[in-house]
Amino acid sequence: MRISTEMTKAINDQISYEASSANAYIAIGSWCERTGYDGSASFFFEQAAEENGHMLKFLHYLNGVGAEAIIPAIEKPPSSFESLESTFQFGLKGEQTVTKAIYDLVEMTEKEKDRSTYSFLQWFIIEQIEEETLFQTILQKFDLLGKDKLAIYQIDQSLASVRSKVTDKQINRQ
């Protein structure tokens, strides 16, 4: 095994956070779908796929360095939300928690002089900046366009293609 036991545990914890994020976004997507917010449902289902991808990146990394990736049990996410805006607030808060966890991991690599994991984590630092910016930009729309039914309808419709544009950007930097 080319990384420490502590680092293996910390990355397995991160696998669990990413899996929880994926699950939470599926739950939000499902709420959006049954509430009639089709654009947001599509956004959140794609977001869930992104999180699943993050989880797999960590899993492949652990297995690749000769450690064992543990597939976590996941807590049940919330199943209903107050409003469309609150789903994005929930998402932003989750992303901020994940960002902090990534920074904690980076700090650990510095203490352990684990250059391999340090280098592996750089992609996630950029990714988290993009994720937080994305959620903040969407939340700004609620302030700019207002919160009446027509404004929310327009925001929802505008979200149908947001994720695919972001994914194009990510593909370009891979």
- Which residue's CB is nearer to ligand FEO, number 72 or number 154? 72
Residue nearest to ligand FEO (CB): 54
Are the beta carbons of 124 and 133 closer than 8 angstroms?
no
Following CA atoms 162, 167, 170, 174 in sequence, which dihedral angle do they give, to the nearest 10 degrees? -170
Q: Minimum distance between the CB of residue 75 and ligand FEO, rounded to whole angstroms? A: 17
- Which residue's CB is nearer to ligand FEO, number 2 or number 169? 169
**Cα atoms in the 13 Å half-sphere on the side-chain side of 112:** 19
Q: Minimum distance between the CB of residue 22 and ligand FEO, rounded to whole angstroms? A: 8
Q: Minimum distance between the CB of residue 28 and ligand FEO, rounded to whole angstroms? A: 13
- Which residue's CB is nearer to ligand FEO, number 38 or number 132? 132
Are the beta carbons of 109 and 97 closer than 8 angstroms?
no
- Which residue's CB is nearer to ligand FEO, number 54 or number 163? 54
Alpha carbon distances (Å) from 21 to 6, 50, 116, 117: 23, 10, 25, 22
What is the Cα–Cα distance from 99 to 137, expressed in whole angstroms?
A: 17
Q: Minimum distance between the CB of residue 174 and ligand FEO, rounded to whole angstroms? A: 15
Binding site for ligand FEO (CB under 6 A): 18, 21, 51, 54, 95, 98, 131
